[in-house]
Amino acid sequence: MTHHPTPNRRLALSGLAATGLALLLRSPAARAQDALLSEDDPGAKGVAYRADAAQVDPARNPLFKPGQQCANCSLYAGEPGQPQGGCGLFYGKEVSARGWCNAWERRPG
Ligand code: SF4
């Protein structure tokens, strides 16, 4: 892999800073929307993620059992009562508390 010369790198870093600033200036709701994992994300598709567990087709997802959702999955890191939160599978993204994927694991306790 080749490294970019310094000027390009500086440009890239200032671009990142501008992007970060733009994200900070957006409303919390807009930022929550930005963070939300899309069902079309390749990683999401890889585990058959649906933002609404009620939309999971049991015929195509034999692992799915009614009642399973991100909010009661051991990989979910969201706060109780919040509509979305982090997931151990998707770094930097958030999943819907009502979502589901085929990596669902019962939360202990
Ligand atoms: S691993 Fe768990 S919390 Fe993450 S998307 Fe799948 S069901 Fe939801």
Per-residue pLDDT band at 28 (split at 50, 70, 90)? confident
DSSP 19-69: HHHHHHHS-HHHHHHHHBPPTTSHHHHHTT-BSSGGG--TTT-TT--TT--
Output the pTM of the full model. Answer: 0.77
One-letter amino acid at 62 equals P
Per-residue pLDDT band at 2 (split at 50, 70, 90)? low
pLDDT, tens digit (0-9, with 9 covering 90-100), for 35-46: 999 999 999 999
Mutate to test the pocket of ligand 1, among 52, 104, 105 (most ligand atoms within 8 A of CB): 104
Question: For residue 5, how far is its CA from the centre of ligand 1 (angstroms)?
Answer: 41
User: What lines the ligand 1 site, CB under 6 Å?
Assistant: 49, 70, 73, 75-76, 87, 89, 95, 99-101, 103-104
In CATH, the architecture of 36-109 is: Irregular (4.10)
